[in-house]
């Protein structure tokens, strides 16, 4: 068998860094940009599973907006949707997740890497709505509540920034969470990802040969210099002309 295409080797590198131990719950985000930017941030940290509690008043998120903000990263996530915090909470409890919630209240603990130890076997991190945060129902059910210490006049960080800061602390506390998917989970994702990467039937015929004998992963996920492209937003390109 010839060498596998780079996109499959890159997919293997991502697969082997994914985590199923950390679940992100995005509860009732109303700003479409924030919602989608959180998906991109979480995917970049290696999160595979995201549960979304929809706000009944949110605006429809178009496929065009999704791709422009997430850069396509949402295609590689396992997203589960809930209509209410109650439905999500029931599922979390049934599956035995430890629940950590973000909270600006005075009872919350400051988020530090040391504070997260010992790290739970499986933890769901709940991020709340921009205006009023995590729902009272989820806060009351949370095993722990955390806040990000701030040193300025702002009351809180932007939702996407808060997501990145929190996940950075989480993986500093538990780096071994990366790469913890079972062989069954890896095989299921591999089938899904390879099929998406194939884009047509002829390429899929080639790619599926690697399903039972996956290629060695790319040693570095960063693009080679020859493949890097300078990305400029269209509105700025037009102004430059």
In this prediction, residues 156-169 reach a mean pLDDT of 94
Domains of the chain: 6-11+181-240 (no CATH), 19-177 (3.40.1280.10)
Q: What is the pLDDT of residues 29-49, one digit of tens each?
A: 887 888 899 999 999 999 999
* Backbone conformation region of residue 29, classed left if phi is above 0, alpha if psi is from -120 to 50, else beta: beta
CA distance 208 to 203: 9
What pTM, to 2 d.p., does this model score? 0.89
Confidence band (pLDDT; 50, 70, 90) for 118? very high
Q: How confident is the model at residue 161 (pLDDT cuts 50, 70, 90)?
A: very high
pLDDT of residue 60: 55
Q: Is the pLDDT of residue 172 over 90?
A: yes
> How confident is the model at residue 16, as a pLDDT?
96
pLDDT of 222: 86
The answer to whether residue 75 scores a pLDDT higher than 70 is: yes
From the centroid of its chain, how far is CA 230? Answer: 25
At 153, is the pLDDT very low, low, confident or very high (cuts 50, 70, 90)?
very high
Q: For the ranges 125-139, 203-217, 226-240, which has the lowest average pLDDT? A: 226-240
pLDDT at 30: 83
* Least trusted range by pLDDT, from 63-67, 169-173, 196-200: 63-67
Per-residue pLDDT band at 235 (split at 50, 70, 90): low
* Residue 45 confidence (pLDDT): 97
Q: How many Å apart are CA 190 and CA 122, to the nearest integer?
A: 22
Helices in 133-209 by DSSP H: which ranges?
Answer: 136-141, 159-173, 183-198, 201-207
Higher pLDDT, residue 174 or 59: 174
Average pLDDT over residues 1-10: 88
Kindly give, in sequence order, each residue whose CB lies less than 8 Å from that of residue 63, ignoring residues fewer than 6 positions away.
none
In angstroms, what CA-CA distances link 8 with 25, 121, 211, 215, 229?
A: 29, 30, 10, 7, 21
């Amino acid at each position: 068998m010839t060498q596998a295409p780079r996109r499959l080797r890159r997919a293997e590198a991502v697969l082997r860094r994914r985590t199923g131990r950390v679940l992100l719950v995005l509860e009732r985000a109303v700003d479409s940009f924030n919602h989608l930017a959180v998906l991109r941030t979480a995917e970049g940290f290696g999160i595979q599973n995201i549960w979304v509690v929809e706000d009944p008043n949110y605006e429809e998120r178009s496929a065009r907006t999704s791709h422009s903000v997430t850069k396509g990263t949402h295609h590689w996530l396992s997203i589960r949707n809930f209509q209410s915090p109650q439905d999500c909470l029931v599922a979390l409890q049934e599956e035995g997740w430890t629940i950590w919630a973000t909270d600006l209240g005075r009872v919350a603990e400051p988020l530090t890497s040391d504070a997260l130890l010992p790290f739970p076997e499986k933890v769901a991190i709940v991020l709340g709505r921009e205006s009023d945060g995590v729902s009272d129902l989820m806060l009351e059910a949370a095993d722990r509540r955390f806040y990000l210490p701030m040193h300025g006049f702002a009351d809180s960080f932007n939702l996407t920034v808060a997501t990145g800061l929190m996940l950075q602390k989480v993986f500093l506390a538990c780096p071994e969470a990366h790469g913890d998917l079972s062989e069954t989970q890896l095989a299921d994702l591999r089938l899904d990802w390879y099929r998406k990467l194939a884009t047509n039937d002829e390429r899929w015929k080639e790619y599926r040969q690697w399903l039972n004998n996956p290629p060695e992963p790319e040693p570095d996920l960063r693009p080679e210099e020859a493949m890097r492209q300078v990305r400029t937003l269209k509105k700025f390109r037009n102004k430059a002309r």
